[in-house]
A and B are shown apart, each in its own frame.
Chain A
Amino acid sequence: DVKVTQSSRYLVKRTGEKVFLECVQDMDHENMFWYRQDPGLGLRLIYFSYDVKMKEKGDIPEGYSVSREKKERFSLILESASTNQTSMYLCASSRQKNEKLFFGSGTQLSVL
């Protein structure tokens, strides 16, 4: 079965720390996405990538960066974590734009 794997289910970090969230897909998908999910705000797009080494900003890229060195892996980086980045982070992938997204289980990040 198809799979999107996020490296951690729960993560607790301190303010100012550099945080890496990893996502791996095994479906050879071109497109990968990072969203954050907050109550009442739905899913907000942080960054997406449509090819290796390519990235595009979403709606809320501030305070985040991404890396896609290999097709199957898309990393989200919080350069200096802040408390307002406490959230559920969801990774997703898809092949073509008329196809659905496959989601990982999510990483609940708490920044203290």
Chain B
Amino acid sequence: AQSVAQPEDQVNVAEGNPLTVKCTYSVSGNPYLFWYVQYPNRGLQFLLKYITGDNLVKGSYGFEAEFNKSQTSFHLKKPSALVSDSALYFCAVRDWYNNNDMRFGAGTRLTVKP
């Protein structure tokens, strides 16, 4: 089955600085890749997805992610972090060839300090 790794449990950045949250994936076929965010005491919210086409995808709240097939990565980025971006971020993958299931990473807690 497909899988996702988020190598960092925690990422700390200063407000106004660029942020990156890392994600690598493993699939047998071609991937559908997703990022979700979870704010405290709230459900998961969709940020963006890569299906096909441009390797750089743009999503909600100014976030973007870059798909890199050779490195099997899909890192989440934002040029200028806000304190309100502090949350738990999850990367997820579906394999277009196989089942309909979606696998998630362990999550990365982003803290943006003023």
Question: Which residues does A use to contact B, with CB under 8 Å?
Answer: 30-31, 33, 35, 40-45, 48, 50, 56, 58-59, 90, 92, 94, 97-98, 100-101, 103-106
Contacts and interface: CB of A to CB of B under 8 A. Distances in A.
Instruction: Give chain B's interface residue range (CB within 8 Å of chain A).
Output: 20 to 34
A42 B100 contact: no
A56 B101 contact: yes
A35 B43 CA distance: 13
Given A40-B106, A42-B107, A56 B46 contact: no
B74 interface: no
Contacts, number: 63
B90 interface: yes
B47 to A, nearest CB: 9
A105 B46 CA distance: 14
Majority DSSP secondary structure for residues of B touching A: loop
B12 to A, nearest CB: 17
B100 A97 contact: yes
Given A97-B32, A105-B43, 5 more contacts: A42-B106, A48-B99, A94-B102, A101-B102, A105-B42
9 contacts: A42-B104, A42-B107, A43-B104, A45-B101, A45-B102, A90-B43, A98-B32, A100-B34, A100-B46
Nearest to A57: B101
A97 B104 contact: no
Interface string B26-54: 00000010101000001110100101000
Contacts of A59: 1, 103
Contact of A48 (B44, B101, B105): B101
A49 to B, nearest CB: 9
Contact of B100 (A31, A35, A103): A31
Interface in B36-81: 36, 42-44, 46, 49, 51
Interface string B78-114: 0000000000001010101001111111110000000
